[in-house]
Amino acid sequence: MRQAKKKIRIWRRITIIVIILSIYFFTKKITLNEKITIDSGESASKILNQLGTLDKIRMKLYIKNHDVDFSKLEPGNYQFSGSYTKAEFVAKILKWSEKDYLRLTILEGRSIYDIDEALSKKWYITAGEYLAFVSDPTIIAKYQSKYPFLNNSALWILNSKLKSLEGFLYPDTYQVDKTKNIIDQLVYVQLKTFNTRVRKKISAPANWYKIMILASILEKEERNLANKPTVAGIFLKRLSIGMALDADITLCYGLKTSYATCTPSVIGQNISDKTNIYNTRAVRWLPPTPISNPTRESINAVLNPQTSDYLYYLHDMQGNIHYGSTLDEHNANKQRYLN
């Protein structure tokens, strides 16, 4: 009897100790004074691996029992300073309340003038900083050594030098650390994204830079993906017969201004300016550089154009495209859709 009572007392003590340790184990706060870095689509395990061993075990059990989903978290650096319960830790990450980076969206078809204006309007940079950076010969040379597709020989501009990184600054949404040089980070990821999404997936022809120039024009002229190959075919046909491209938007680039400020009235005032080398009504060839940063879809359209009988096109007030094979057909479309 005594032996049995003794065993019961021992088991009670063990049970109490286990309960106390469990309470301590599961309720002890996590103390953090550091950044936790989360990449896009990263699993909970990878995120929690940045915690200490015991904290990691406690959090894994908590997440499993509470069905917490970290898969849709915004990538970036999450700054923690203090002690947190598991619920507080999860809530803080899900709320994303102490981020120290900026989310920058570079829209399709934007030029270096557009990007500079957009960033400076939000006070991320001083006006002109982005322009100066992407046109700096030292910066261009640095990235030419990293990315062969930027070399003059690869671009077939042997008698000149790359004037800027225009055309290769891929449009997308990026995260940059706001405590560091924003422009340096942005240009780095833009070129890296171009290399990954475009250059590694497309075999570069000998006239690679010409393809990029034409794709940049196509990006501005036609937004509908289904129409891009047809418009690309029209551009190529015009070039092959010595006809002017007549893409009015190109002259805006020669004015060194954003497309937002290059309104139809501005275009009308400058349409006859033959000194503007980007005026494709006055100059019967491609402009000397890309006029925007095109998407892979526009580049693919130029590489795989749709053959047609069309030589002209226009957009009505609703943005719908209308083609013409002859000048008479084109003028008729003008009367029908623009008057």
> Exposed (0-12), middle (13-18) or buried (19+): which is 220, by Cβ within 10 Å?
buried
Strands 30-38 and 76-84, by their bridges, are: antiparallel
Q: What is the pTM of this model?
A: 0.71
Joined together, the tokens standing for residue 117 give 């204006």
Q: What Cα–Cα distance (Å) separates residue 289 from each residue in 123, 213, 338?
A: 28, 6, 31
CB 290 within 8 A of CB 212: yes
Q: What is the residue extent of each domain of the chain?
A: 2-99, 112-308
pLDDT tens across the length of the chain (339 residues): 566 666 666 666 666 655 555 555 555 677 766 666 776 666 666 666 766 655 667 777 777 676 677 666 666 666 677 777 777 777 777 765 446 678 898 999 999 999 999 999 888 889 999 999 999 999 999 999 999 888 876 676 656 788 899 999 999 988 888 888 999 999 999 999 999 888 887 776 767 889 999 999 999 999 999 999 999 999 999 999 999 999 989 999 999 988 888 888 888 898 888 889 999 988 888 899 999 999 999 999 999 999 999 999 989 888 899 998 999 999 998 899 887
Cβ atoms of 248 and 267 within 8 Å: the answer is yes
